Amino acid sequence: MTFYKERGLPCFVIFSKVSKEFLGRCGFGPIETGEVEVGYLITRKFWGMGYASKALNALLDWSKKNIEADYIIAFAPLRHEASQRVMEKCGMKYYKVDIGHGVECKFYRIKNN
């Protein structure tokens, strides 16, 4: 909550509507370049069920109304091809390989308007 109050960038927990089970978390954060990062982390047993795509689409829709930034970026380690496909499916475009959170990653972005 402190992070949201200070920066206005929210994080959310994700629960199943049916079972009420914890599925993961998602949200936004600033990065060193001054850009806004969007991210998601889904519990392994729920991988491949569409939750990451649904969360990312909801976050990108929310950002257009609530975040003033030219681009929203996301990244995933080179070996996390499923996460890269989620970003592509949600309209994000690959633009570079760089270091993210200390790991070599593929970076994606989408215009935030």
Tens of pLDDT along 46-64? 999 999 999 999 999 999 9
Q: What is the mean pLDDT of residues 15-31?
A: 93
Could you list the residue range(s) of the whole structural domain that residue 40 is in?
A: 2-111
Number of structural domains in the chain: 1
Tens of pLDDT along 62-106? 999 999 889 999 999 999 999 999 999 999 999 999 998 899 999
Which residues are CB-neighbours of 9 under 8 A, at least 6 positions away?
A: 3, 27, 28, 29, 30, 36, 67
CATH code, domain carrying 56: 3.40.630.30
Q: What is the mean pLDDT of residues 27-55?
A: 91
